[in-house]
Amino acid sequence: MTGPRYPALIASLPSTVPFVGPELQERARGMRFQARLGANENVFGPSPFAVAAMQDEAAEIWKYADPSHLDLKAALADHLRCTPQNILIGEGIDGLLGYLVRLLVGQGDAVVTSDGAYPTFNYHVTGFGGVLHKIPYTGDHEDLSALIAKAAEVDAKIVYLANPDNPMGTWHSGAAIAAALDTLPDGCVLALDEAYVEFAPEGTTPDLDAEDPRVLRFRTFSKAYGMAGARIGYVVGAAETIKAFDRIRNHFGMNRIALAGALAALGDTEWLNEVIRLTAEGRDGIARIAKDNGLTTLPSATNFVAVDCGRDGDFARAVLAGLIDQGVFVRMPFVAPQDRCIRISAGRPEDLEILAEALPKALLAARITLNP
């Protein structure tokens, strides 16, 4: 009896995944987390109109979703001042990044990213046989000029940049990104991940023509719109490039409940503004708790805060473990020197009360463990 025959590429890949979900950790612990502050979910939830729209659509779930997604694309086009032909809807930014790599990257093709940037992108690149070239962060920022210089050196198909950044929360100005495009080598595309852009200060979004073929902009309803579980994101780019995704995308990959919710969420700017306000309060609360414990925080343009634990990655990992032991789910950057930090998502007042009680205990336990 024999099993499947894997292609050499697949057989060579490590049996790892980008993230371990909090549910798996809860099962291992035998109890649920008291405060879920690790996955940058929007704990304030979606628009009530989005919830109602999804509830109304549930009775129609026996139908496939319209594979053209035209209603949502038309609304997004009006919102972004482009055409529906400039927009692709997909299964969150994670799924869309997979489509991007499948579309552009063949085995052996070079791709450039930052060392420590969003690991799911790397997961797709290696899964399709691309070769990753990584550039260190500079001052806790992705080094855009170095990324583009490396792309020219290795003839890269894609440069990946998150703005604002995950996991550090830092950001570049939109003007800097627009200027950098003029130095991008021919035949290379900037994959601009703007998952957190709704939380960012004015001027973070570059003023670009949607028909500029040098850049594809990835956005999501998972963060500011509070619909992470619905798995719905979109790409904005030149119409010819967007049309090319039809060759490889899953045309029936979206569910109609998510599409209905996203359409309603997009129209509720009042709730979006309230979420942005509540998130800013949550970030300020995390900064106060960190300061009360002798720690510093990085400025953040996202819905999370990178808290500098003041020592090395081993210490930060011990602090993280201490928080998890007390029922507080958080995550941290994977690569030094950014791994001196832990990353805490903006929470409700009751979440931050739990964090405020748990953090000093986690710090004390880490100091005892590493300095017996």
pLDDT tens across 170-226, in order?
A: 999 999 999 999 999 999 999 999 999 999 999 999 999 999 999 999 999 999 999
Encoded tokens for 205: 């979004």
Q: Cα separation of 345 and 371, whole Å?
A: 29
Q: Tokens standing for 263?
A: 């359409």
What percent of the chain has pLDDT above 90?
93
Residue matched to tokens 């490889």:
248
pLDDT, tens only, 290-349: 999 999 999 999 999 999 999 999 999 999 999 999 999 999 999 999 999 999 999 999
- CATH 3.40.640.10 in the chain, residue ranges: 49-267
Locate 102 and state its tokens: 């499948």
Helices (H), ranges, 81-157: 92-104, 119-127, 144-154
Based on the number of CB atoms within 10 Å of its own CB, is 239 exposed (0-12), middle (13-18) or buried (19 or more)?
A: middle
Tokens 């450039």 belong to: 112
Q: CATH homologous superfamily of domain 19-45+270-370?
A: Aspartate Aminotransferase, domain 1 (3.90.1150.10)
pLDDT in tens, 64-97: 999 999 999 999 999 999 999 999 999 999 999 9
- β-strand partners of 306: 343
CATH 3.90.1150.10 maps onto the chain at 19-45+270-370
d(Cα 237, Cα 240) in Å, to the nearest integer?
8
pLDDT tens-digit readout, 259-294 = 999 999 999 999 999 999 999 999 999 999 999 999
Count of CB atoms situated within 10 Å of the CB of 252: 10
Residue 226 near residue 199, CB atoms below 8 Å = no
For the chain, the C-alpha Rg in angstroms (whole number) is 21
> pTM, whole model, 2 decimals?
0.96
Residues in the chain: 372
Q: What are phi and psi of 102, to 5 degrees?
A: -60, -35
- Yes or no: domain 49-267 corresponds to CATH 3.40.640.10: yes
**Continuous segment of H or E residues that includes residue 49:** helix 48-57
Average pLDDT, whole number, for the chain?
A: 96
